Structure 1
């Protein structure tokens, strides 16, 4: 399957590309800075270079692909302004509709609500911390997910609370808040593996599963 990955050179994005290649998929990576591209990608991954607000470059990246996966995450710099990833996600979704690409997979936060969730202190606390400590990043995370969830496409948003470094530990918990037991942290390796697995699965179409170790 042909998969276009946005945010491909990020901490989770690089692991995601590795998982997709290992599963036999053809990967096209959208990157802003080619110098961050791992050397081993050069013979395996097609690159499209552009800013996340470059409509033409995004259109080229989405054309002739089967599925789009976004590993985009907001800047945590308190001096950052605007919501460029919301604009970029809107451009991605628009390009998908033009090229009739039906499937979008992205990353999100428990502040993004799924209709299968019930209210929990855990999810409320995560939302409170985001709104209080990093309000711009919080708005951007929610805005990106809302664009996808309201798109009419077959979407999946993979939610997690605290990404950590290190080797994979296996996903111990997955599902929805209030229904399933969800922990507080997940390795980036496990986030990437679970997200890549959604390319070949329809289990969570139009759903936002939460995961943890």
Structure 2
């Protein structure tokens, strides 16, 4: 498969790329600082590297980037610094999602392209009746107002849910919602649910980044799994022992 990964240099994006490379897929990635990438990536013939800020690419470049791809995966996020949280672009994830989907539609692929977005359990799937306590709703509302990256994550998923919807002939989507992210060296057992089974604020679970990368790769490459979760926002937790 030919797969485009944006946010490939991030903590989770790197693990997704490694997973897909190990399976023998051809990848395109867009990174701002390719010099920081592993040397093994720079010499890997499976990997095509574009040096750019994703939002600085022209519409024509976006169309070329998504051409002939079978899937697009976004692990984009904001740096956890003052400038990353409160600086521009505040709508990095949302604008990249919109522009990538638009580019895919311009290409008019014969088969729908899979778009897998890394999201968060702090975001509700408004297609489902996901219960949330009054206290959590108040805190999430405050976070939405005070922390721009959270609102960005919500808007990106909402664009897929409400605009791309379930009926696009060119784009199919899934938004993967991990809980509190942790680092592990190996894939471990994990569980997938349609909705959170615990409070993201008061009783958050753990999700290792490598498990997120593994699940996103599996969605892209396993059509049975994709057909189960496309058009949804699956939640991923590490399996508790």
* TM-score, normalised by the number of residues in structure 1: 0.87
Match of 2:125 in 1: 113
The equivalent residue for 1:166 is 184
Task: Find the counterpart in structure 2 of residue 64 from structure 1.
Answer: 68
Greater gyration radius: 2
The change in CA–CA distance for 1:140 and 1:129 in structure 2 (over 3 A counts) is same
Pairwise mapping of residues 10-89 of structure 1 onto structure 2 (< 5 A)?
10-42=10-42, 43=44, 44-53=46-55, 54-55=57-58, 56-78=60-82, 79-81=86-88, 82-89=90-97
- What is the deviation of 1:181? 6.2
- Contact 2:125–2:195 at 8 Å: present in 1 too? no
The CA distance in 2 between the partners of 1:139 and 1:158, in whole Å, is 16
Question: Residues 117 and 196 (structure 1 numbering): CA distance in 2 closer, same or farther, change over 3 Å?
Answer: farther
Contact 2:173–2:231 (CA under 8 A) maintained in structure 1: yes
Corresponding position of 1:136: 148
After superposition, the Cα gap between the structure-2 partners of 1:18 and 1:71, relative to the gap in structure 1 and judged at 3 Å, is: same
- For these two proteins, the number of residue pairs brought into alignment is 211
For residue 229 of structure 2, give the secondary structure of its aligned residue in structure 1.
Answer: coil
Distance 1:190 1:48, change over 3 A: same
| Partner residue in 2 for 1:194 | 215
Q: Which runs of 5+ in 1 are unaligned?
A: none
1:211 aligned to 2:236? yes
Identify the residue that residue 3 of structure 2 maps to in structure 1.
3
- Contact 1:30–1:61 at 8 Å: present in 2 too? no
**1:134-191 CA distances to partner (integer Å, 9 max, x unpaired)?**
521111111222222322321000001211112235243311236x568611011111
- Residue 104 of structure 1 pairs with residue 115 of structure 2: yes
Per the TM alignment, residue 117 of structure 1 is displaced from its structure 2 partner at its CA by 4.7
Runs of 4+ in structure 1 deviating by more than 6 angstroms, as ranges, are none
1:154: which partner in 2? 172
Alignment check: 8 A CA contact 1:168 1:187 kept: no
* Secondary structure of residue in 1 paired with 2:184: coil
TM-superposed deviation, 1:126: 7.2
Residue 112 of structure 2 corresponds to residue 94 of structure 1: no
